[in-house]
Amino acid sequence: MRKHRIAVIPGDGIGLEVIEAGKKVLEELAEKSGEIQFDFKDFDWSSKRYLEQGHYIPEGGLDELKTFDAIYFGAVGSQEVPDHVSLWDLRLAICQGFDQYANVRPARVLPGVTSRLQGADKIDWVIVRENSEGEYSGNGGRVHQGLPDEIGTEVSIFSRKGVERIHRFAFELAMTRPRKKLLLVTKSNAQRHGMVLWDQIFFEVARDFPEVEIQRELVDAVTTRMVLKPETMDVIVATNLHADIISDLAAALSGSLGIAPTANLNPERTFPSMFEPIHGSAFDIAGQGIANPIGAFWTAVMMLEHLGEETSARRLMDAIEAVTRSELHARDLGGAATTAEITDAVCQHIDEQMRAKTATG
């Protein structure tokens, strides 16, 4: 029996609903296979806590989190707290504190899901987002108010270390894919400094990966390519800001924000990595039991892969696809199924798979 200690941070809004659903399918997987065990510990680091106590992460919180094998995160964001506070004080505090510099976002159209994009069945991308520096490095910049002309400055930082490690990570990932293509996305025509470093280091690292077919595109042009020629892209590497934007587009093109997963990885495994659906706390539907939990389930698949549980990861992905194929969809995908109904259906598929396995010996 292999045990995994998982820190669970549901956060706010539908984060609470989809993470509860995610724990349920993981428990089902563990119980029915008898091969693994999850030791979940819940952390109520949320906007509610911030409003009551003035902080998201309590004193010593990150030290405690450090001892876990992985972090399963929901979403953070509340109408009562400015978004930049919730983002920086919780999610980014963990990503930066644990040097989770590689943010990985797969995008593909699951069976039974209809995309608004024609030819969307050709989407099979993994977006690698630099997650530790760049436009979201949080270093410098300020708002100068009270002057006749108010100004706000924002400082982006791109370091050789930071750029080289994300490129290397992306090349290694491209090597594991059948098509072995890597697309570099920048805006080096307009952003003359940091982006130049991105371009330069990309071609340096490329020399170590002669089998990877490299391509390059500016971020604005890439949005049209995603829509018009989705089949020409495979792995994509981009900065924190650029990848943030194109990955939301990727999620929408592949069906809905409600199904897309992401992993914030510390590839060296010095610290735990964090897994989360890409959607936010969705004030408009929170508390109604109608959030699509598929994003949280696919996230759990990525977490299982990271934990070395390939077989369980495949079983869960098979169960997710069986349910989307049956067109039991939540409202964001044009259906009427509740979070609980989708969760039960996935659990049932896991159960059926395990019975079939027992039956065939």
Contact positions vs ligand NAD (CB under 6 A)? 14, 18, 75-77, 83, 91, 257-258, 276, 279-285, 291-292, 295, 330, 332
Q: How far is the CB of 56 from ligand NAD (least distance, A)?
A: 11
The single-letter DSSP state of residue 133 is S
By C-beta, is 17 or 244 nearer to Mn ion? 244
**Binding partner of 281, given Mn ion, ligand NAD, none, CB within 5-8 angstroms per partner class:** ligand NAD
102: left (phi over 0), alpha (psi -120 to 50) or beta: beta
**In the complex, what is the shortest distance from the CB of residue 74 to ligand NAD, in angstroms, rounded to a whole number?**
7
Q: Which does 322 bind (CB under 5 to 8 A by kind): ligand NAD, Mn ion, none?
A: none
The SS3 of residue 268 is coil
Nearer to ligand NAD, 267 or 280 (CB): 280
Q: Alpha helix (H) ranges present in the chain?
A: 14-33, 47-53, 61-65, 83-86, 92-97, 160-175, 194-206, 219-228, 240-253, 294-306, 310-325, 339-359
Strand 151-152 and strand 213-218: the pairing is unpaired
| Least Cβ distance, residue 248 to Mn ion (angstroms) | 6
| Residue 244 touching Mn ion (CB under 5 A) | yes
Please state the closest distance from residue 137 (CB atom) to ligand NAD, in A. Answer: 18
Residue 289 tokens, joined: 């039991």
Beta strand spans in 68-205 (E): 70-75, 102-108, 124-130, 143-144, 151-152, 181-186
CA-wise closest residue to 297 among 272, 271, 323:
323
CB closer to ligand NAD, 135 vs 217: 135
Distances (CA, A) of 39 to 29, 49, 121, 230: 13, 24, 37, 40
Cβ neighbors of 320 (< 8 A, separation 6 or more) are: 110, 294, 297, 298, 301, 346
Residue 166 site contact among ligand NAD, Mn ion, none (CB < 5 to 8 Å, cut-off depends on kind): none
The minimum distance between CB 23 and ligand NAD, in angstroms, equals 16
135 sits near Mn ion (criterion: CB under 5 A): no
Pick one of ligand NAD, Mn ion, none as the site partner of residue 244 (Cβ within 5 to 8 A by kind): Mn ion
- Which does residue 330 touch among ligand NAD, Mn ion, none (CB within 5 to 8 A, set by kind)? ligand NAD
- Measured from the CB atom, the residue of 75 and 317 that comes closer to Mn ion is 75
Residue ranges in contact with Mn ion by CB under 5 A:
244
